[in-house]
A and B are shown apart, each in its own frame.
Chain A
């Protein structure tokens, strides 16, 4: 989950382009799995709703069945993934973005 955007030199415009591509790749390495997890969890549940009613009917605790439990877990999962992404973005991606932004501004002043 570490962004290596700083490995490219930001002095040249080619270096900045490579740094940008590395940043995008690093973001994708995090975002693709996160997106896949929540889509599988949510769309998977809607598929179960159509084709696996007996499974969703199974009782978990008292009157609570598996279907309602999975719905509640989906709320928790979606919020959890969102918070995770924001924490990583603030800690890892934002500093890289700031470096790149400064380098671009500098490059614009000294063409």
Chain B
């Protein structure tokens, strides 16, 4: 198994490094580095979004959760899809029309004050590292599990690849790595789906009835994984508004030429990722039915090997050529999944460090093109190295709380600030700082006081705190705005912001 997986893994690495070589020769300007010069088509961006958004937690985790905990796993898979409605209805087009490379651009276009930009930078960096660290830790665990390479080396290997993609190939390489990953992921899913359905006599009710008979009717009910009645709602809120506040997802909307293409790319990703997420629910039920929960638990206590083991089973079983091929393929795709996600995160973080901090905060935008690209490349190397060190440092630590935090802060700090910037005339720098600060502090405090860290002694009962931290983020934004007071000049400029957000043009040349 190891050799086969290693072979396919090596093939994916070679292909993606080839892409990087090609992309590096086309990445000479800051606009090319951060946004591929805004020249992607809707289909390309849609596939890349699917590659960006489906982390290993989605690829392996949703199937595993469903296999072990039934309907709760299906709920986990639904949220990330419906969340694209928020993105499409509220943020995709204004982001495309207003921003250049980062969330900081949108906020500082509206506010024209440095404290507002500092707040946006803080929100971006905290969310991205909270997201990146568990991805790196997951990479170490998974690559070790799937290929036998030791944990530290696995993290270093993934980190080195991601640094090469981003530092040399910028957005173009990152995009194509994500597209390749999305195609592989969907191909693997389609293959498993057909084979599993064939085993079930093309009747999806067969495994459904099978798991109900074996594990009882409660398996197909919520509450097996998330115990508190409000857990599902709070998680749902986190998804519904957090996706629209994730900087590495926002960045993808700067890669298309106009609002119409931004809209169309959301439709692409909804059908691509949506069909994949829906399929994981069937995969989980099929894995519980065919492979059995005891075998899945024995292979990995978190259920993360449910999908690879289902693939092995439907391919013909352990020891058969078909079974081992399928297992190797799905394992290699899992690694590709991680590479695509960490690259997107590294690129978005490098955008906020190099573009927001260095160029705009430190140098007031007065930096020539070549220096901008140099700084962007250098910062992506630094971020990559930092991510590798963090990944190695947290080995064995329970990083579940970071996963919760990333989406929760995005919903509680970034989303309120972004949406109020685009819709509320009176919203000002005080509101940006107040919203970011209260959303961040509330998310961190509640997550660390919750069951993910304190277990049974939790002070706060819910796993995901968004149900309280998001209202607190909005409250901080309102109070900050009121405290700073009104400014007629600032408020009259809102018409200009609206015009730009809706049409992409400005009254004055800029």
Cα of A34 to Cα of B230 in the assembled complex, Å: 24
Q: Which residues of B contact A21 (CB under 8 A)?
A: 498
Closest residue on chain B to residue A34 by CB atoms: B89
- B434 contacts A by Cβ under 8 Å: no
Q: How far is the CB of A15 from chain B (nearest CB, A)?
A: 13
Q: Which residues of A contact B278 (CB under 8 A)?
A: 72, 75
Q: How far is the CB of A22 from chain B (nearest CB, A)?
A: 11
B8-16, B25-33, B215-223 - interface stretch: B215-223
- B401 contacts A by Cβ under 8 Å: no
Q: Which of A81-111 contact B (CB under 8 A)?
A: 81-83, 85-86, 89-90, 94, 97, 100-101, 104-105, 107-108
Among B71, B222, B231, B274: residue with most chain A CB under 10 A: B222
Interface flags for A18-35 (1: CB within 8 Å of B; 0: not) read: 001101100100010011
Interface size counted on chain A using CB atoms at 8 A:
51
Cα of A83 to Cα of B274 in the assembled complex, Å: 13
Q: Are A82 and B267 also in contact (CB < 8 A) when A53-B223, A75-B274 are?
A: yes
Q: Are A79 and B271 also in contact (CB < 8 A) when A50-B231, A71-B75 are?
A: yes
- A4 contacts B by Cβ under 8 Å: no
Q: How far is the CB of B303 from chain A (nearest CB, A)?
A: 19
- A1 contacts B by Cβ under 8 Å: no
Interface flags for A52-65 (1: CB within 8 Å of B; 0: not) read: 01001100011111
Q: How far is the CB of A84 from chain B (nearest CB, A)?
A: 11
- B484 contacts A by Cβ under 8 Å: no
Closest residue on chain A to residue B88 by CB atoms: A82
- Please tell me if the beta carbons of B232 and A50 are within 8 angstroms of each other in the complex: yes
Cα of A63 to Cα of B285 in the assembled complex, Å: 12
Q: How far is the CB of A79 from chain B (nearest CB, A)?
A: 5
Interface flags for B213-249 (1: CB within 8 Å of A; 0: not) read: 0000100111100001111110111001000000000
Q: Which residues of B contact A31 (CB under 8 A)?
A: 89-90
Q: How far is the CB of B59 from chain A (nearest CB, A)?
A: 18
- Please tell me if the beta carbons of A38 and B82 are within 8 angstroms of each other in the complex: yes
Query: A82 contacts which of B230, B235, B236, B270 (Cβ < 8 Å)?
Result: B270
Closest residue on chain A to residue B206 by CB atoms: A63
Cα of A5 to Cα of B61 in the assembled complex, Å: 48
Q: How many A-B residue pairs have CB under 8 A?
A: 149
Q: Are A78 and B503 also in contact (CB < 8 A) when A31-B90, A50-B231 are?
A: no
- Please tell me if the beta carbons of A46 and B263 are within 8 angstroms of each other in the complex: no
Interface residues on B, range: 35 or more
- Please tell me if the beta carbons of B495 and A20 are within 8 angstroms of each other in the complex: yes
- Please tell me if the beta carbons of B274 and A78 are within 8 angstroms of each other in the complex: yes
- Please tell me if the beta carbons of A46 and B82 are within 8 angstroms of each other in the complex: no
- Please tell me if the beta carbons of A49 and B75 are within 8 angstroms of each other in the complex: yes
Query: A23 contacts which of B217, B502, B506 (Cβ < 8 Å)?
Result: B502
Q: Which residues of B contact A38 (CB under 8 A)?
A: 82, 85
Among B79, B89, B228, B263: residue with most chain A CB under 10 A: B89
Cα of A61 to Cα of B509 in the assembled complex, Å: 62
Cα of A78 to Cα of B271 in the assembled complex, Å: 10
Q: Which residues of A contact B90 (CB under 8 A)?
A: 31, 35
- Please tell me if the beta carbons of A20 and B85 are within 8 angstroms of each other in the complex: no
Q: Which residues of A contact B231 (CB under 8 A)?
A: 50
Query: B233 contacts which of A13, A46, A64, A81 (Cβ < 8 Å)?
Result: A46
Q: How far is the CB of B42 from chain A (nearest CB, A)?
A: 10
Cα of A99 to Cα of B281 in the assembled complex, Å: 46
Cα of A101 to Cα of B231 in the assembled complex, Å: 46
- Please tell me if the beta carbons of A86 and B267 are within 8 angstroms of each other in the complex: yes
- B208 contacts A by Cβ under 8 Å: yes
Q: Which of B249-272 contact A (CB under 8 A)?
A: 259-260, 263-264, 266-267, 270-271
Would you mind naming 28 contact pairs between A and B with Cβ atoms under 8 Å apart?
A20-B495, A20-B499, A24-B498, A31-B89, A34-B85, A35-B86, A45-B236, A46-B75, A46-B235, A47-B232, A49-B233, A50-B232, A57-B220, A62-B205, A62-B208, A65-B217, A67-B220, A67-B221, A71-B78, A71-B281, A74-B78, A78-B270, A82-B85, A85-B89, A90-B263, A94-B260, A100-B502, A104-B507
Shortest 9 CB-CB contacts between residues of A and residues of B:
A50-B229, A49-B222, A46-B236, A46-B232, A63-B209, A49-B232, A63-B208, A78-B82, A46-B233
